[in-house]
Amino acid sequence: MPVYLDHAATTPLSAEALAALTRELARTGNPSSLHGSGRRARRSVEDARETVAAAAGAHPSEVIFTSGGTESDNLAVKGLYWSRVGENPARRRILCSAVEHHAVLDTVEWLERHEGAEVTWLSVDADGVLDLAALQAELSREPDTIALVTVMWANNEVGTIQPIGRIVELAHAAGVPVHSDAVQAFGSLPVDFKASGLDAMSISGHKIGGPVGVGALLLGRAVKLTPVQHGGGQERDVRSGTLDTASIAAFAAAAEKVTATLGTESARIAALRDRLIAGVHELIPEAVLRGAPGNGRLPGNAHFTFPGCEGDSLLFLLDLAGVESSTGSACTAGVPRPSHVLLAMGLDEDTARGAQRFTLGHASVEADVDALLAALPDAYARARQAGMAGRESSIQTAGTIARHAQAGS
């Protein structure tokens, strides 16, 4: 069995979620139907809604089930933008952190290209923490022209936690609603929607032990949102489409499990993470931890740049040694690109290319960290060698022969 250190990509289905999923999949019934089968399905969905609401610190009517984090982000950002512009056509500014997941980043860029949005990318410091002064400066400049602020709760690549409470305070003082992508935070940190004051918040099922293909947007009861997907009027008329009873029930089971054990699990996982970080620093002193230190980052996230390495070489060599990790960033047609998060934190492209993310989850144990630390030195040495492959080929080619002959004559 390979050692799985990519829990931020997806994490194994919890036993509770699997039981709920298989139970519900065997049943028939559309939760919108009025007959017995429909009533039974609706009962499951509404139970799940209350469970997810309790887990996320929200009221049940604030839970809008979606197909996952990406849909929740699209719905929140586009829906808020359109609704705010609809109320006042002058509100076209979106304030967005420079380190967002592509589900937010690309949505915002799309609104900029097609819907007349004016985007301000809010800068972050070297740890990836949002610059509150920059946010304040933008908010005080014609606040009436701002449609929304969107800042993630915790970063998916480097694990840095954002000061969501302060961000909401500042934005609300200026009368601007705030959305946060809490896909990585929910299930790893205490996340309380009501206490946060957020207007909208995205969460996902498969990052917390639920199935892929289900998530939710938590949406304040007073917040007006223009629907993106039209149809039967489900979910407050904001997100039409037949509800996926089985996935929703499984998502709720996972959410219940993960929040019940959050305190002990996050402490256990953070201890593993700290051992992993200390181990990497001891073996490879030149590796640099990226993101905020200690409690400033997600308990399960350890992210490094390894100088002179290409992230995908390291990934390949670790995979070969049975350790599964990630470079942390998206790629274009499989072509590894330097992470926009690391660039926003001030790294140059070459340094950013050496990124490797190790993420722990509820299934992680000491032996996983040991296996990584055993495999890493060799993988690092080889990846460095491959990364050093210089401009002039060390392999003899027709070109090098000709150049040497010329140099010799």
* Interface residues toward other proteins, by CB under 8 A: 312-313, 316-317, 319-320, 331-336, 382-383, 385-386, 388-389, 393-399, 401-402, 405-406, 409
Instruction: Kindly state the smallest distance separating residue 389's Cβ from other proteins, in Å.
Output: 5
Amino acid identity of residue 9, one-letter, is A
DSSP at 239: B
222: left (phi over 0), alpha (psi -120 to 50) or beta: alpha
CB closer to other proteins out of 97 and 325: 325
Greatest alpha-carbon pair distance for the chain in Å reads 93
Closest CA to 359 of 14, 12, 125: 12
CB closer to other proteins out of 40 and 382: 382
Instruction: Kindly state the smallest distance separating residue 83's Cβ from other proteins, in Å.
Output: 33
CB closer to other proteins out of 295 and 393: 393
Give, in order, the Cα–Cα distances in Å from 377 to each of 9, 273, 285.
24, 18, 11
Instruction: Kindly state the smallest distance separating residue 332's Cβ from other proteins, in Å.
Output: 8
The dihedral sign for the CA sequence 62, 66, 68, 74? negative
181 — phi, psi (to 5°)?
A: -85, 105
Instruction: Kindly state the smallest distance separating residue 405's Cβ from other proteins, in Å.
Output: 5
Mapped onto helix, strand or coil, the DSSP state of residue 345 is: coil
Mapped onto helix, strand or coil, the DSSP state of residue 147 is: strand
The residue annotated as part of the active site, out of 331, 365, 389, 402, is 331
Instruction: Kindly state the smallest distance separating residue 306's Cβ from other proteins, in Å.
Output: 14
149 — phi, psi (to 5°)?
A: -115, 135
Is 331 among the catalytic positions?
A: yes
Instruction: Kindly state the smallest distance separating residue 215's Cβ from other proteins, in Å.
Output: 26
97 within 8 A of 88, measured Cβ to Cβ = no
345 within 8 A of 290, measured Cβ to Cβ = yes
Give, in order, the Cα–Cα distances in Å from 16 to each of 254, 258, 355.
6, 10, 34
Mapped onto helix, strand or coil, the DSSP state of residue 97 is: strand
Instruction: Kindly state the smallest distance separating residue 382's Cβ from other proteins, in Å.
Output: 6
206 — phi, psi (to 5°)?
A: -80, -5
Instruction: Kindly state the smallest distance separating residue 402's Cβ from other proteins, in Å.
Output: 4
6 within 8 A of 325, measured Cβ to Cβ = yes
Chain centroid offset of residue 49 CA = 22
DSSP at 300: T
CB closer to other proteins out of 121 and 316: 316
First to last CA, the chain: 58
CB closer to other proteins out of 141 and 403: 403
CB closer to other proteins out of 19 and 386: 386
Helical H segments across 177-310, by residue range:
193-196, 245-260, 262-283
CB closer to other proteins out of 264 and 406: 406
CB closer to other proteins out of 71 and 312: 312
- d(Cα 255, Cα 50) in Å, to the nearest integer? 11
Q: Which two tokens stand for residue 390?
A: 């210089």
The residues annotated as belonging to the active site are: 331
